[in-house]
Amino acid sequence: MTSQIDVPPVPENMTFGQAVELSAELYGLLGQANIDRAAIRQIESSR
């Protein structure tokens, strides 16, 4: 839950397709981070 989230590498000369793929990957990482933070808040509130 608190482990580091690695940022995917950004290609130097990014194509439109690569930008779409990167955006999807970042969106997924952001969603997972939000899930983890919500779990931490829930744990903290139950203390």
pTM: 0.75
Residue 2 belongs to a domain = no
Length of the chain: 47
Residue 26 belongs to a domain = yes
Q: Give me the pLDDT at residue 24, please.
A: 96
Residue 38 belongs to a domain = yes
Q: Give me the pLDDT at residue 41, please.
A: 94
Q: Give me the pLDDT at residue 6, please.
A: 87
Could you tell me the pLDDT band of residue 2, with boundaries at 50, 70 and 90? confident
- Into how many domains does the chain fold? 1
Look up residue 15 and give its two tokens.
């194509």
Residue 9 belongs to a domain = no
Residue 21 belongs to a domain = yes
What Å distances lie between residue 12 and 8, 15, 19, 38, CA to CA? 13, 9, 11, 34
Residue 5 belongs to a domain = no
* Residue pLDDT, tens place only, 4-40: 888 899 999 999 999 999 999 999 999 999 999 999 9
